[in-house]
Amino acid sequence: MGGDYAPKANVLGAIAAHELLSPNEHLVLIGDTQQIKPILAEKGFNADHFEYVHTEEVIGMGEHPTRAIAQKPNSSISLGFSMLKKGEIDAFIGAGNSGAMMVGAVFSVKTVPGIIRPSLCTLVPKLDGGTGLMLDVGANADCKPDVLVQFGIVGSLYAENVMHINNPKVGLINIGEEDEKGNMLSLATFPLMKECKQFNFIGNIEGRDLFNEKADVIVCDGFTGNIMLKLAESFYVMTIQKGLKDEFFDRFNYENHGGSPVLGVNAPVIIGHGISTPKAVKNMVLQAREMITTGLVEKIQAAFK
């Protein structure tokens, strides 16, 4: 029931994803079945292909995340995380209140032991046709050096296992390439990342390196990452407004990537854009499947033992 176009966009996205799933993979729709079933009927889709958990309670986009999770235990978000915690589902995705999704993940399936703060990541198109990963993009506005090092570890594991990049190159966003450049955070983080043996650190990178092949995993605090993400998204919007057609900028369309995985919690969780379309929802489902089948969470847990 989450998102600006719910439940229709979510239901249509589930239908599109179903066509790409194997017979042993199933989708569970959590929400108001009185609204869901008519959409399926309108599309001539067999409702028996999905499982349902009925609820009419919804956490609004503007509600306080922690209070909403506590006060609305029967909301679609709260029920989803309850099922995830009990192992009744293998992954949970939602395009609703992103704060509530983040709080729900941390309080239900919990943070992986050893991880200080879970992070949000996003895919970044590269000029050479490849794809990179940037984290954090908004979950942690303020970070400490050891947190950024952990972002490098989980980001590298995601890039290697889900994106299938061999020995991914990890770069630290900074205002210059030189070792001694940066603010207090980046100056303190650099030597820690250089000493870390759990990923392939290639040093500082600048904002202009975001779309080239210099780094596969771009590490930054959530304040910086969110600004860079929103700026990148604006490129795509501007090309549409200007009537320009460019294959590279088309790849900035958030729909192609689905949502932002929460890395560092004990189960696959993906938070979608509030304006998620059916295409975006479909790709979130496929993202979640990839996280499950590659055993990403288990590999992150092993890395922090």
> Domain 1-115+264-305 is of which CATH architecture?
3-Layer(aba) Sandwich (3.40)
**Short-list 255, 262, 252, 201, CA closest to 230:** 252
Flag whether pLDDT at 250 surpasses 90.
no
**Pairing mode, strands 169-173 and 200-205:** parallel
User: Taking a C-beta distance cutoff of 8 angstroms, is the pair 113, 105 a contact?
Assistant: no
User: Taking a C-beta distance cutoff of 8 angstroms, is the pair 263, 121 a contact?
Assistant: yes
CA–CA dist 262, 254 (Å, integer): 16
CA–CA dist 98, 64 (Å, integer): 10
Mean pLDDT in residue range 77-85: 96
| High-pLDDT (> 90) share of the chain, % | 85
Flag whether pLDDT at 232 surpasses 90.
no
Regarding the domain delimited by 117-255, which CATH topology (the fold level of the hierarchy) does it fall under? Isopropylmalate Dehydrogenase (3.40.718)
CA–CA dist 127, 109 (Å, integer): 37
Mean pLDDT in residue range 233-237: 86
| pLDDT number for residue 237 | 87
- pLDDT tens-digit series, residues 102-154: 999 999 999 999 999 999 999 999 999 999 999 999 999 999 999 999 999 99
| pLDDT number for residue 154 | 98
- pLDDT tens-digit series, residues 256-303: 888 999 999 999 999 998 889 999 999 999 999 999 999 999 999 999
| pTM: predicted TM-score of the whole model, two decimal places | 0.93
Q: Where are the domains of the chain?
A: 1-115+264-305, 117-255
On the question of a common fold for 1-115+264-305 and 117-255, the answer reads yes
